[in-house]
Amino acid sequence: MAFNQTPTIVVLKEGTDSSQGKGQIIANINACLAIQDTLKPTLGPYGSDILLVASNGKTTVSNDGATILKLLDIVHPAAQMLVDISRSQDAEVGDGTTSVAILAGELLKEAKSFIEDGVSPHLIAKGYRLASELCIEKIEELAVDTNKGDQEMLEKCATTAMSSKLISQNSAFFTKMAVDAVRSLDPDDLDESRIGIKKVPGGALEESMFVNGVAFKKTFSYAGFEQQPKQIKDPKILALNVELELKAERDNAEVRVHRVGDYQAIVDAEWEIILRKLDSIAASGANIVLSKLPIGDLATQYFADRNIFCAGRVSAADMDRVLQAVGGQLQSTCSDIRPSELGTCALFEEVQIGSERYNLFTDCPRARTCTLILRGGAEQVIAEVERSLHDAIMIVKRAVAHHEVVAGGGAIEMELSKYLREYAKTIAGKQQLIIAAFAKALEVIPRQLCENAGLDAIELLNKLRSAHAKGETWYGVDFQSENVGDNMKSFVWEPALVKINAIASATEAATLLLSVDETIKSESQGRGQGAN
């Protein structure tokens, strides 16, 4: 008696791991919750820092969500989504990187019970998307429009951004620095890459400097450099991409000569070429010469004899910022240099900062750039100061471009939560439960802020719910009184754009993860690939 047996068909390579269904979605959610648990203690003004040690032994101390996730080296393909949304938040608005990852994790946590009860992931995703749209509309409706050029408003936003950082104790000092840095940029462009940041170990945090212009570390210099001027008023600055150095013939060419005089003629010709270049530079009237390429000992001494300052091997980024500040054009030849191709500034000086010497070009006529010179005891401290300032600068930049703000400290999240709960009561079916779950997830921000500050989260959340039910729109956690209060009046301000971007990104990541119900992992590559 014959049986028709269907042969086993092998589609995937041997060793490939494949898992699917409800269990796979829950496994992905659990991976994201593990990441959320790591980030939760870092949220808010009383959030703790995390010490990360890389495989090469380099240590990083930070509470910046994007930095922590980048250094964690996460291999789980689903958890990698949280890294990506945190990075996109960092690139788009600069702050709120921890909030967005925590909110995405909480949305998945709320969805987990629905998945276990057999609700379709697509229904949950649909409800989340609707709730996200309602939240964004509500934020746009509630946002308070402030004066675009108001210095005080910008400083309040920067202070809020810095409140959770290492430099919160020095926030008054660094807030002004962040606002001045953004104000120095072209208001139509606001390209933060034009804000140079230099780090000099040693000294106190408040010894950090704001330079309205360009500063860069003294470049490698030859004998004769000390005879050059170290301070020039209204200098004429020439920027070159020309090498002003004699080359040793034995390294660069093979020359066959029959008489000693022939060899001498070759050496003389080379000297004549470089001296002709130097004479052209001196004749141009420039008294500062900067070059991307080396300036040798002969040229250094030549310039010193003529009271001209020079610096060779200037990095491309520093050279670009110098040209943006002082004007002029980069020259690839030393012949026919016109006066219009030279830049200028009010003052050039070389100063000692800590153990380093820096060249400063200040009060530039075209200054659309600035430099922040950061000081601090340890490299890790200065690196965290840089990350904190980056967040504050990005927040100020967004506040200048989109001058609408909302109250921070969990106030806007509680108001949105109240609004969604009220909306959920007007609809029937499963969507009502899903939108109510989104409303509950939003409360994770004020709850975590309370827990990190050592406050009673349950008591304060009840007070906040009660206040918002009575129409106190801007009530949030007040850390000064360890109670609740009106954060709009307390100047705990955040640009509305930060919250809009955070809610949109967190919802997008959560719905994407809920739509993945199968993971196929290749043994050879060791990387996961989700298939819907």
Residues marked active site are found at: 64, 97-98, 391
Q: In what order do the strands lie in the sheet with 356-362?
A: 213-217, 356-362, 347-353, 231-233
Question: Within its chain, how far is the Cα of 100 from the centroid?
Answer: 15
Please count the other Cβ atoms lying within 10 Å of the Cβ belonging to residue 421. 18
Report which of 340, 346, 323, 349 is spatially closest to residue 234, judged by C-alpha positions. 346
Could you tell me if 50 and 42 are in contact, meaning their C-beta atoms sit under 8 angstroms apart? yes
If DSSP codes are grouped into helix, strand and coil, which group holds residue 94?
coil
Residue-wise over 290-328: b if at least 16 C-beta within 10 A, else e?
Answer: bbbeebbebbbbbbbeeebbbbbebeeebbbbbbbbbbb
Q: Which residues on neighbouring strands pair with residue 213, listed in sequence order?
A: 362
Q: Which tokens in the block code for residue 256? A: 């066959």
The DSSP secondary structure of 493-516, one letter per residue, reads EEEHHHHHHHHHHHHHHHHHHHT-
Q: Which amino acid is at 218?
A: K
What's the rounded Cα separation, in Å, for the pair 95 and 113?
A: 31
Q: Which residues pair with 359 in a beta bridge?
A: 216, 350
| Contact of 370 with 315, CB cutoff 8 Å | no
The angle at the Cα of 425, spanning 419 to 426, to the nearest 5 degrees, equals 95
Phi, psi values for residue 367, rounded to 5°:
-50, 110
Measured distance CA(366)–CA(516) in Å, rounded: 53
* Structure token pair of residue 157: 């936003």
Instruction: Report which of 211, 210, 206 is spatially closest to residue 171, judged by C-alpha positions.
Output: 206
Give whole-number Cα distances, 187 to 182, 220, 425, in Å. Answer: 9, 36, 46
List the end-to-end C-alpha distance of the chain, in Å, as a whole number: 42
Amino acid identity at 458: I
